[in-house]
Structure 1
């Protein structure tokens, strides 16, 4: 409280006392006991009111003790059960979470992790993937501003994701790995990696690369086999020693029939192997009888051309050829789709050939596009010519219906450089992406598709899409999301199939450890996405003949169902609408492969390195007696006393109002009782 406020309080007391004495002594020569009581009550009332006007502020300090957090993250993947460590892991969690000393010093938080992090103490050891680095990434968001030593109970075997031993660069906490498993080295032969393209072409041969690894000290001989059903399609004798403990096998296989061909690669186990699961690996190749050929036509170099070629050819079913505007005219019939990059008057002959042969095409309009030429030669839309450019970002149109478009975080992508001005369409069109400026929607299309005269066309009103592919890699650490988006666009534009009211998006085969998601779209008779319909999928195991039915759940702009619970087998399915007689069928195959069963030991080296990098310490699950003691005695994890200072104005003190009311009420009652009123 400052000195000025104190002076005001003193003055208020003097004024209140003067008024009280003046009122009860001015007309009387002496003060009776009753008048003295009245003076006191009046003083109390006036002084309280004046105090409210001065409204002094008081400091209120509260002290609290904040305990550090103890984060316990348990590996919930099936590799823990495979290494026979599940019972020890559960017992350790119960021991730690029930320890009174730990609970006195820490706030104990329990998590499980596999593919993702979950706040739970219930462990089942059934998850098919492990991403330890992702668990630390999510924990760093939760415990960014606190002291939170972390116990991670795991075998250290990660199946995908960034290397977790460097997680301490982003997760600024001390990490204490509790290692499940042992360090004993077992003699083992395994298929470390198998590389094969997803697609092959009929009457052709496709390459396969297999990396074989041996752990052991003796020289061993074995046989590497590839079988298709009961037929051996490739075999090779292999030998290993302590010095030569790996071998790369390269070979080719024929593709003689259209469809999914399943194979099994096996390295014959030696007699004393402990883990024989990792000696075999299933793989499949989809054989197609035609390759989609696409021409990219441009009269100048641009980074967009290379980015489009990379994205399109990420699917082995498609090939891209670069042509200039003159070369394309004579070769137009060799391609299913023509991509025209920023046309000008030199493209007049190409547009005439396209219109004559009614070819599907995709136009990219940018800052070098001659809009006057484009307006004259394209009857579907026209551009307002302002001779100005603008940078536009993208916003996904969730109501787009021709095919399923996943949101790959378009709003985070860099803006495209485009011509400023309105675009007018003379035919119905559907916008995939709309333009925004600084987050403000313009209701102008950025990427559209439409159908006219029995052909499909698309237009991108902007250049520098290569930056989108780069940003997609930054966002997801992979080009796959962007390439899949471009792939769906190209697949739609290159096809002349009639539009269906029910579309189903699925793969021909899935690996056993991956998520099996099937998506579907349903449209009403006007081809507007219908959210009122109920879709169900009936899945039949072609081997056991067992049929299961699942509902498809509406999510964003499509229906989805997760079939990850299905065991490896060959399946046929039918997606059917409940209220209308519309259905669509297909087949897919789930390959038998459990990546969590490929490990024999705990990854002790990485876990110890993780502990060292973060300032923690590693422990084996059979030797955790010192773990609790180390945590309790570590001075880095002391409780912190915090003070919270609040400035409270007197006007918020409710008791002062009670004092005013009581003093006024007592004065009135006593005066009334004594006949003075």
Structure 2
């Protein structure tokens, strides 16, 4: 307690004493023994009130014990069951839960992980992917400010994510890996990896690369083959030895039919192999009739032309041809036309476009002849000033012709365009607005127009190559810009009219991937409708089983996760409840479980994790040794801590009650003795 507070309390004592003596002795006509009692009561009540006003504070120390945390993280992937370790895991967990010494020493928390981390032990051992690195990163965030040694029960086989043997260097807790699975190397041949493009073009041949591996010390001979149905399309004899334990095969297959073609790659197992699942892989290729052919017409040489070509052809399903307006002949070969800075030489091209009702993309800039362009079409008009201006793009979040997200346009360099007002004479959807000298305007910069079944996009500025370069500086790739430009191309290359319900799905999915189908639902004004109640019906073509699932709103689409579907062929129908609107499609799920490709535990990586984190590795049958180590490890002690609380006297409510009680006793005593 501070000296100032003590002096104030002494002063309160003296003042209270003076008040009591003054009232009951100095002013009293007759001094009786009862006045001494009354003075004492008055002294106590006044002194208590003054002390409450001074409000002294006291320090209070409380002591408690803090246990270290003990994390039990269990691999819940299907490889644990495939390696026949699920029973061992259950016995291990029961042993930990029943050990009272561990409970007294640690606060034990249980987690399971596969693709992600879960704070429970609902072990099913049916998860299709494993990401050990992500599990350690999540645990590091949860326990970053505490002591928490981690027991990691896993076979060490990770199917995707960062290599955990290296990322564990940043994990702040000691990890004690418990190795699950057989550690003895056995004879095994397998298809390590199969690389193939998802798409191929009709009448072409598509390449395939296969990596085959062998573990063993004998010279063996086997055969690799690829089949489709009952037909064998490719076969090759393979020879392995202890030194020659891998083989890379490159070959091509013909794409003779349009649609999704399924294939089966098989490395014939050896007679003494235990795991034959990893000798087979199913894959598929979607054969497309033709590419989307695009014609870019320009009368000048400009860096934009190269940027546009690179962006368009970043999708292998598209090709772009650049031509001068005088060389344009047959437009029927192209799905859409890009017109770059038109002038009077483009008159014939516009006449063909009007006749054939082709979709096109007009890009105007400093060298555009607006006198000609204003005359040759009536959809928009540019004020003629003969001057140029730098325009910065501003994204319109309410754009609804197709789904699109802002890719950071506000940070992109300005484009050069004609100075002056642009007047739109038809209905249009603005994707970008103009910003001039940091002044935001509602003038269109990039718009899409749909009139009488013909779609057009209009960009009022040149310098797209700067945008693509800026995208690379920001993200070290061109993906965002190419996706932005690709969506415009996709919109213009499609002749489909607007639909209030659109679905997005792949033609096929691999069994180990996430199977997601999304849908876009619009109002009658073609504005995205978040009030929709959508559901999807899935029919298995083989079993005729049907299941109906509601779709969940996620950002600007409705989505459903169908990752639990078994391999097979499916039809689906997305419908809007209380609306006569539906969309149908189909897809295939290919049989593939990456977790079943493993034959042994990855002991090397788990040992590396223990070394990186100052832990120690154990095998599943060494649980007693692990428990003993955790109980004797001097790094993990129960710590007694103290907590100092500063308590103000005014928080002690009983003192106010005592004051009231003293005043009440004094009043009743005086009343009883006739002094009031």
Q: TM-score, normalised by structure 1?
A: 0.86
Q: Residue 42 in 1 paired to residue 36 in 2?
A: no
Q: CA deviation at 1:110?
A: 0.9
Displacement of 1:60 in angstroms is: 3.0
Distance 1:153 1:116 in 2: 15
**Quick one: structure 1 residues 579 and 118, their matched pair in 2 at CA, closer, same or farther if it must change by over 3 Å?**
same
Other-structure match for 2:68: 68
Change in Cα spacing, 1:529 to 1:5, as seen in structure 2 (3 Å) is same
Q: Secondary structure at the match of 1:637?
A: coil
- 2:548 is aligned to 549
Partner Cα separation in structure 2 for residue 419 and residue 8 of structure 1: 76
SS in 2 for 1:34: helix
> Partner residue of 1:464?
467
Aligned to 2:568: 569
Over residues 455-505 of structure 1, what are the superposed CA-to-partner deviations in whole Å (9 max), with x where a residue is unaligned? Answer: 3344678963555567667xxxx9878866664443223212111122111
What is the CA RMSD across the aligned residues, in angstroms? Answer: 3.8
Specify whether residues 51 and 221 from structure 1 end up closer, same or farther in structure 2 by C-alpha distance, changes over 3 A only.
same
**Residue 116 of structure 2 corresponds to which residue in structure 1?**
116
CA contact (8 A) 1:77 1:128 kept: yes
**Cα gap change, 1:143 to 1:574, in 2 (>3 Å):** same
Please list every run of 5 or more consecutive structure 2 residues that lacks an aligned counterpart in the other structure: none
Alpha-carbon distance in structure 1 between the residues aligned to 2:158 and 2:445: 41
Indicate how the Cα distance of structure 1 residues 328 and 645 shifts in structure 2: closer, same or farther if over 3 A, else same: farther
Deviation string for 1:185-225 (max 9, x for gaps)? 11111111111111111111111111111111111111110
1:516 counterpart residue number: 515
Return the alpha-carbon distance in structure 2 between the equivalents of residues 542 and 320 of structure 1: 39
Moved more, 57-66 or 205-214: 57-66
Task: Report if the CA contact (8 A) 1:24-1:39 is conserved.
Answer: yes
Cα distance in 2 for residues equivalent to 1:457 and 1:260:
32
Secondary structure of 2:635 counterpart = helix
1:255 lines up with 2:255 in the alignment: yes
CA distance in 2, matches of 1:433, 1:644: 59
1:537 aligns with 2:536: yes
Counterpart Cα distance in 1 of 2:31 and 2:661: 23
1:235 corresponding residue in structure 2: 235
Question: Alpha carbons of 1:249 and 1:353: their partners in 2 closer, same or farther (altered >3 Å)?
Answer: same
Cα contact 1:218–1:241 (8 A) shared by 2: yes
Query: Normalization by structure 2: what TM-score?
Result: 0.86
Higher Cα Rg, which structure:
2
| Aligned 1:660-675 pairs, distance under 5 A | 660-675=659-674
Aligned to 1:54: 54
Is the 2:175–2:616 contact (alpha carbons within 8 Å) kept by the matching residues of 1?
A: yes
**3-state secondary structure, aligned to 1:168:** helix
Question: Does the 8 Å contact 2:468/2:478 carry over to 1?
Answer: no
Give the 3 Å change call, closer, same or farther, for CA 315–300 of structure 1 in structure 2: closer
User: In 2 relative to 1, CA 623–570 (structure 1 residues): closer, same or farther, beyond 3 Å?
Assistant: same
Q: Secondary structure at the match of 1:160?
A: coil
Contact 1:299/1:325, CA 8 A, preserved across alignment: no
Question: What residue in structure 1 maps to residue 79 of structure 2?
Answer: 79
The alpha-carbon distance between structure 1 residues 299 and 238, as it changes in their structure 2 partners (threshold 3 A), is same
Structure 1: any 5+ residue segments left out of the alignment? none
Partner of 2:170: 170
CA contact (8 A) 2:396 2:430 kept: no
Cα contact 1:203–1:255 (8 A) shared by 2: yes
Q: Which residue of 2 aligns with 1:415?
A: 411
User: What is aligned with 1:282?
Assistant: 282
Aligned partners of 1:35, 1:492: CA distance in 2, in Å? 101
1:653 equivalent to 2:652? Answer: yes
Quote the Cα distance in structure 1 between the aligned partners of 2:202 and 2:6: 96
SS at match of 2:127: coil
CA displacement at 1:254 relative to structure 2: 0.6
Matched with 1:611 is: 610
* CA deviation vs aligned residue, 1:44-102 (integer Å, no higher than 9, x gap): 22222222332333333333322221111111110000000010011111211332111
Contact 1:140 1:171 in 2 (8 A): yes
Contact 1:156 1:606 survives alignment (8 Å):
yes
Instruction: Give yes or no for contact 1:313–1:320 (8 Å, CA) kept in 2.
Output: yes
SS in 2 for 1:130: coil
How far apart are the structure 1 equivalents of 2:444 and 2:152? Answer: 49
- Residues 189 and 279 in structure 1, CA contact (< 8 A), matched pair in contact too: yes
